Structure 1
Amino acid sequence: MRSAGVKGFRAVVDALGGDADALARRVGLDPAVLDEDDILVPDWKLAELLEESAHALACPDLGLRMAARHGLDMLGPLAIILVNSPTAGESLSAVARYLRFHTDTIHVGLRPDPGGDAQSAAFVYAMDIGAPPPVQSMDAGIGFVHRTFVEIAGADYGLHSVHLAYEPVASRDVYEAFFGVPVVVGSAQTYLRVPADFASTPIAGADAANRARAMAYLESVLPPELEDFTGRTRAIVQETLAYVPPQMKNVARLLNVGERTLQRRLAEQGSGFAEIVDDVRRETVHRYLTRTAMPLHEISAAVGFAEQATLTRSARRWWGETPRAVRRGSA
């Protein structure tokens, strides 16, 4: 993760009467990471810094305090794309596409409401740096997501409630004062419950030219393994499946090429768009079936299927058995 992930740490610690440099050294970090944005630091090490500091300073809401200090500038060029996308949905697509510029262990996605409410959706936030998840880092992350939504869609963007998949160490009142809505503990996933049409929320003042320039820059610094056209197409399908229907026109737009160009370049590399989408769906469904308890209707929606019956037919085609059988076989 880029050291921008702890931007504001020094100010928070100073306000609490602590020694930020000493706390950084305590977990084996050079204090320089507290003042620079682009030093690469292991995600788990930054998480350790927050956990250790919260304990040392007797500050159970340290993560939320960090979130309150974080601004969109922490995201560098990705922030430019976020505020200059035409809708919240396209901003979310950009996050999914380019978040790895900052970290490869944080995963986000817009999903159907776990409670089955057709008027709501869930913006899920997860970290792959251990179980149980680091509380302060999760607080800082989900808190920053909330503040980002306020920034791009307005203070009244429609947050219904906040759901935590971990046991917080600060009181419920502290969380509810931060988010301004009820906070539910003990959920299967950590998420913000937002209006079902949140993705269509327009972003005021979006500038297409600024967005294009920022996208061009981030494309230029993508990891080498994504430089091939097939790999880039596959990555976009995989990372935006929950936000944008896996249609050629949508992926072509994110790649800044025409549909015919996309089709031709994939063919030149011995691939095809439909084949890529099917591969990504198969791998994603298998991961959800074997590694999570996500209900089948949510899995279906998460990979862009219009109905659960399509998921069942696809599972039979891929593995010769139903989704439930695949799940039982992994138990």
Structure 2
Amino acid sequence: MVPMIRAASLRGFVPLVERLGGEADALLARFGLARQALDSDEALIPITANDLVLDAAAAELGCPDLGLRLAEAQDLSILGPLAGVIESSSTVAEALALASRYMFVHSPALSVGVQADPRGSRGVVALTYRKDLHESPYSPQAIELGLGLFYQVAVMLVGSRTGLRSVEVPHQPQSPVSRYTGFFGADVTFGCRAAALRVERHLLDEQFATADEAIRRLAVDYLASHYPDPARKVSTQVRRALTGSLGTTSPAITGVARLLSVHPRTLQRKLAAEGASFEAILDEVRRDAAHRYLTTTDLPLGQVAALVGFTEQSTLSHAVRRWYGASPRELRRTAQHPAPGSRTELSR
């Protein structure tokens, strides 16, 4: 299955686009998103489409800090049932541990964690925010939105006691550096290995005024019973195996079964028990990979075909038309070029 994210991640997107003079419906439609889907926080949308529409809006509407603006308009509630677990935790360390464990409820492609300080400072740790790039391509605006929201939530829960030393951003500045330092109230370094908030270690021991052990237990029990970890599903393991090997080895069930240490027939039975099949998962992986390559790169179509495991470019063309009702060139042109009348188009 294509990696998804809760539609709440785009909360505030439509009014912001409209304030900037853009046409939200048309922009969303270009990436296969319907405005109605954003009306429900519980709805799920493809994370790749979610991120691409953020980057496109920022570029075409002349708003390089779009991700940060959305972060300012959002709060912990976009995480839905996960928000209750975090808010009722006793300490920052407990909240981070539970957020790391259950982040898949918001999106299985995203993760948060605690790591040693990348600069090696004593008494400092890095609170990381990552996206699995095997699942979906990198997005500067989405990373800034996620990291900005991460910071906003920390301030909401512990106030001014964040102990923030500096912020690490993997990409180069999209806006003037002063915009970042003004938002975070700390130095910001770009071109880093991971998105992270560098904080004093004692922050992990900070107590939450909203801590409630009874509510936390109920919230955790609810997540455990209503949101099974997709990483434990055989179909998820097959998808990850195919995603990691696509374009390098033949996408055959025998090879995937060998990676998972099961017999091919056993693998087929386990997938069937989950209502899935190897062929359907392979088709989804190819579809998602083809969409990424066509909409985020200028690679020749023959190379894209090889990268998604097709021996012929014509096979790619037939598959893309079946998936998206358009040729590979049409799909690329629609996603990568702004519609007539957008600010980017008019400025050319």
> Which bracket does the TM-score occupy, shorter chain normalised?
0.5 to 0.7
Instruction: Name 2:63's counterpart in structure 1.
Output: 59
Misfit runs of 4+, over 4 Å: 224-228
SS at match of 2:21: coil
Could you say if the C-alpha distance between residues 102 and 132 of structure 1 is closer, same or farther in structure 2, counting changes exceeding 3 Å? closer
Match of 1:207 in 2: 212
Q: Structure 1: which amino acid aligns with 2:93?
A: G
Q: Which residue of 2 aligns with 1:181?
A: 186
Question: C-alpha offsets along residues 209-253 of structure 1, whole Å, 9 cap, x if unaligned?
Answer: 22122111111112276789xxxxxxxxxxxxxxxxxxxxxxxxx
1:156-195: per-residue Cα shift (whole Å, max 9, x none)? 3111110111113111111111111111112222211001
- When normalised by structure 2's length, the TM-score is 0.62
Partner of 2:46: 42
Match of 2:346 in 1: none
Residue identity over aligned pairs, in percent, reads 36
CA 173–38 in structure 1, closer or farther in 2 if over 3 Å, else same:
same
What is the identity, as a one-letter code, of the residue corresponding to 1:160? Answer: R
Deviations, residues 5-50 of structure 1 (Å, cap 9, x unaligned): 1111122223323222221112221111222112221111100110
* Residue identity opposite 1:20 in structure 2: A
Q: Unmatched 5+ residue regions in structure 1?
A: 229-331
User: Which residue does the alignment assign to 1:134?
Assistant: 139
Cα deviation, residue 89, structure 1 = 0.5
* Residue 105 (structure 1) aligned to one of 87, 106, 109: 109
Please tell me whether residue 25 in structure 1 is matched to residue 33 in structure 2: no
Give the residue type in structure 2 aligned to 1:189. A
Distance, in Å, in 1 between the alignment partners of 2:231 and 2:192 is 35
Distance 1:227 1:29, change over 3 A: closer
Gaps of 5+ in 2: 234-348
**What does residue 90 of structure 2 align with?**
86
Per-residue CA shift, 1:270-311, capped at 9, x if unaligned?
Answer: xxxxxxxxxxxxxxxxxxxxxxxxxxxxxxxxxxxxxxxxxx
Structure 1 residues 227 and 216, CA, compared in 2 at 3 Å: closer, same or farther?
Answer: farther
SS at 1:107's partner residue? strand
1:171-250 aligned within 5 A:
171-223=176-228
- Report the CA distance between 1:68 and its aligned residue: 0.7
2:104 touches 2:229 (CA, 8 Å); kept in 1? no
Match of 1:167 in 2: 172
Distance 1:73 1:22, change over 3 A: same
Q: Which amino acid aligns with 1:78?
A: L
Letter in structure 1 aligned against 2:78: M
How far off its partner does 1:94 sit?
1.0
Q: CA deviation at 1:119?
A: 1.6
Give 1:114's aligned residue: 118
Structure 1 residue matching 2:119: 3-state secondary structure: coil
Please report the TM-score for the alignment, with normalisation by the length of structure 1: 0.65
The separation in 2 between residues aligned to 1:142 and 1:103, in whole angstroms, is: 15
